Structure 1
């Protein structure tokens, strides 16, 4: 019986491990730890000169963006660290980095846990919700626009990833900036949403990097990544 019990336990662990998904990841912190409504200013009013000017910027982007830019924005709608593969090299692969992957799943979940409550407080309408002239090329969203969650998580991932691989900091942070900017290219965010996302991501990353529970998982993920990259 003991032999079968051990076998059953092993199979259970195998099934649980193989079916684990990113949505099962737990955030490191929530808005109880970082309250963005106490850090960021409120968004400009819908009828303000600033919002009207930004709407003009979104519309200008709409008529100047190229098919290649649109394709890049559509691809960057996916919120995960693997969007940095183009600057990390061919060995930057989810299948090769299970611990690193699980770690960054938690980083992504942390963004939502901190940013979404703030979005719900401010409820800034997206550009396409204020003007029928705006035609986003990415998936539509009705959540609050301020701050941009994509810009937030892109900045978080960029800071943490470049801390793991400082040899590529310039390329990683440039990619993080592009990740946020592509929300403007995609027509789903105002420029100021993205700027507030960069601030939010920087604040959250700074808090995470000073937490013992975060650093314990960070060290494991960093070691796996650098080994895989031959560093």
Structure 2
């Protein structure tokens, strides 16, 4: 039932053991892979109908589900079109619709909005949020921290195949960051001369090649304190802490292939 053998721990999906109940579990799962695997030779509607037939749906039931899902994915007007000329956002919505043909209890999504423009991404988020409201459990991987914050009730931050932290978005921000972050950008060559002048400005100070990040619960107070110390940044930006701040603190800023 598993691609890799179990080496430790205990796995249950929908309170079922995959080793003993693999077929029952798969019948209640929907999968959205990172790369779309649609049949480009078929129409939009037939991609759904034929997939539904794989799950044992009658032709009439598969047709009914396809019509519902095309409406859900805002693709009804493209039902008779071939898949190939669709935009990336349309193909992604069709892939998600296909994964819902069997009315799954759990929907697995591998980086569902990678490569999409902002409008397409926000439309997908809205559709996925609707699924949550209907009681579908979403399990997704993503590198977009705003996506995780929008959709996830519980997050697991992974680093080198290990769990670095877990909790709700708010819990993780409160645990590993501060309420606000002040970004200070200095003229070229100035930042390297600021040794000691940044100490104590906030709870934590992080120097990056192009700016300084000061973590605190009052960003405006940090900006005022910096000015009182005679620091003259080119720009000052006060923003709320984000999951990206948490992720980078837990995993580091070095590139990972």
How does the TM-score come out when normalised to structure 2? 0.24
Greater relative contact order: 1 or 2 (C-alpha under 8 angstroms, separation 6 or more)? 1
Q: Which has the larger radius of gyration?
A: 2
Compute the TM-score of the two structures, normalised by the length of structure 1: 0.26
